[in-house]
């Protein structure tokens, strides 16, 4: 992996996979076609539904690279499920009643998130990149993806997770800081205070040489320049794409992101049973204090309530996932987001983007890997010199 390579590609930006509907084929295709790396979120879907989205994306994206994100299944503490979950459900009953909904149950595929069927499908019909969150895939699976020609990415939130992840030899790590929107990808479902991104990047860089994709609160090219200087090879942005027309998030959610009445984000288990960052609204404020660490049980319990709230245009009972930089999210096409980030990056690193060799040491890049992926040759910015 050559040191300067990141600067030979258009934009070192990965569009975060966003489960729950926000990042479907339209957004992923728009990002990949504009020179970033688009991602599908397979979480909460059946393998069949994931397969249908992959087929749709392949049509839209042509020969450009893209990724698919999987949830690594874990198990809730049975004691929490037996004792605390029923109490929480009882407390949520009035929320459901108010919206004419019923609390939900975990569907048959929900505990494993259809893991075996999804991994089998992605091995049978390989995609360019597969990323994992909420845990570490087994080394045999990482090896099988490598043999199938698929690059693998593991999400980490601590240096310890990074050390363990490096042991299964993925191609890249996503380093997710506390600033990030939605769920913390930490492998257990503990309540430890998450690390800020810059601190975490330094801690992870100290334990592994793997290329790192930085995630959490990144909204501008200058911030991306900062994480590249801090040892990252690229940046993964979620919230920055939430207001794009290609993003399929519900309208009241998009409106809330632009509404000055929402003034803060916070980590909470109230919606899903796992710590996740969202805009502070009534539901979060009322239920955060006693939400149990039961995931995905709480996610499926509250899903019908959140859906009914979205249908009723009531953002106060929805999960308004947002990173700490949400105020900077703009309503503009994904290609414009990428063009703006690229222009801001050029303001910082302009000389490095000339065809000549860069003037000094530059961060290691994931992008040689991306350029080896099918269709990457004709990305604006061209093929790297071998």
245 to 274: interface string for ligand FMN, x by CB under 6 A: ------------------------------
Q: How far is the CB of 27 from ligand FMN (least distance, A)?
A: 11
Determine which residue in the list 76, 133, 189, 281 makes contact with ligand FMN, applying CB under 6 A: 133
Contacts 24+ apart (CB under 8 A), 50-59: 50/114, 50/118, 50/121, 51/121, 51/125, 53/24, 53/25, 54/125, 54/127, 56/25, 57/25, 57/28, 57/29
Q: What DSSP line would sit under 214-277, residue for residue? A: EESS--SHHHHHHHHHTT-SEEEESGGGTTSTT----HHHHHHHT-TT---EEEESTTTSS-EE
Which residues 323-362 are close enough to bind ligand FMN by CB under 6 A? Answer: 323, 325
Distance, in Å, from the CA atom of 152 to the CA atom of 46, rounded to the nearest integer, reads: 21
**288 three-class SS:** helix
Choices 4-12, 58-66, 210-218, 346-354 (CB under 6 A): range interacting with ligand FMN: 210-218
- 155 contributes a contact to ligand FMN by CB under 6 A: yes
Nearer to ligand FMN, 9 or 15 (CB): 15
* Contact residue for ligand FMN among 15, 239, 265, 281 (CB under 6 A): 239
Piece of 11-19, 95-103, 299-307, 338-346 that binds ligand FMN (CB under 6 A): 11-19
Closest approach of ligand FMN to the CB of residue 7, in Å: 22
Check binding of 238 to ligand FMN (CB under 6 A): yes
Query: Smallest distance, Å, CB 298 to ligand FMN?
Result: 16
d(CA 51, CA 198): 36
Q: Is 215 in the site for ligand FMN (CB under 6 A)?
A: yes
**What does the per-residue mask of binding to ligand FMN show for 15-34, with x meaning CB under 6 A?**
-xxxxx-x------------
The nearer residue to ligand FMN, 162 or 384, going by C-beta atoms, is 162
Q: CA 201, CA 203: separation in Å to the nearest integer? A: 6
The residue count for binding ligand FMN (CB under 6 A) is 29
- E strands, the chain, in order: 13-15, 38-41, 66-71, 129-133, 151-156, 172-176, 182-183, 212-215, 234-237, 265-268, 276-279
d(CA 330, CA 346): 20
176 binds ligand FMN (CB under 6 A): yes
Binding interface with ligand FMN (CB under 6 A)? 16-20, 22, 41, 43, 69, 133, 155, 176, 179-182, 185, 215-218, 236-240, 321, 323, 325
């Amino acid at each position: 992996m050559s040191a300067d390579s990141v600067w030979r590609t258009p934009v070192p930006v990965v569009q975060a996979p966003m489960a729950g509907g926000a990042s479907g084929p339209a957004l992923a295709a728009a990002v990949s076609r504009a020179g970033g790396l688009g991602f599908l979120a397979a979480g909460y879907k059946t393998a069949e539904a994931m397969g249908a989205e992959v087929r749709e994306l392949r049509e839209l994206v042509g020969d450009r690279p893209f990724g698919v994100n999987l949830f690594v299944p874990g198990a809730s503490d049975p004691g929490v499920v037996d004792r605390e979950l029923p109490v929480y459900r009882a407390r949520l009953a009035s929320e459901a009643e108010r919206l004419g909904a019923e609390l939900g149950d975990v569907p048959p595929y929900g505990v494993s998130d259809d893991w075996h069927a999804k991994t089998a499908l992605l091995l049978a019909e390989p995609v360019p990149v597969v990323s994992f969150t909420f845990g570490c895939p087994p080394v045999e699976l990482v090896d099988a993806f490598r043999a199938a020609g698929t690059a693998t990415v593991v999400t980490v939130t601590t240096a310890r997770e990074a050390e363990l992840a490096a042991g299964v030899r993925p191609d890249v790590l996503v380093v997710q800081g506390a600033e990030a929107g939605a769920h913390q990808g930490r492998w257990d479902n503990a309540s430890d205070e998450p690390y800020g991104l810059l601190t975490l990047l330094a801690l992870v860089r100290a334990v592994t040489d793997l290329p790192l994709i930085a995630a959490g609160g990144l909204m501008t090219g200058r911030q991306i320049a900062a994480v590249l200087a801090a040892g990252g090879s690229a940046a993964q942005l979620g919230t920055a794409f939430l207001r794009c027309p290609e993003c399929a998030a519900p309208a009241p959610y998009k409106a809330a992101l632009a509404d000055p009445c929402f003034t803060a984000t916070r980590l909470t288990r109230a919606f899903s049973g796992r710590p996740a960052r969202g805009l502070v609204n009534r539901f979060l404020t009322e239920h955060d204090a006693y939400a149990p660490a039961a995931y995905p049980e709480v996610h499926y319990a509250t899903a019908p309530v959140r859906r009914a709230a979205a249908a009723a245009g009531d953002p106060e009972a929805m999960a308004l996932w947002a990173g700490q930089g949400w105020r900077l999210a703009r309503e503009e096409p994904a290609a414009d987001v990428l063009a703006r980030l690229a222009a801001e990056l050029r303001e910082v690193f302009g000389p490095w983007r000339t065809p000549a060799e860069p003037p000094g040491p530059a961060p290691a890049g994931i992008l040689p890997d991306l350029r080896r992926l099918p269709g990457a040759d004709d990305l604006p910015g061209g093929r790297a010199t071998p």
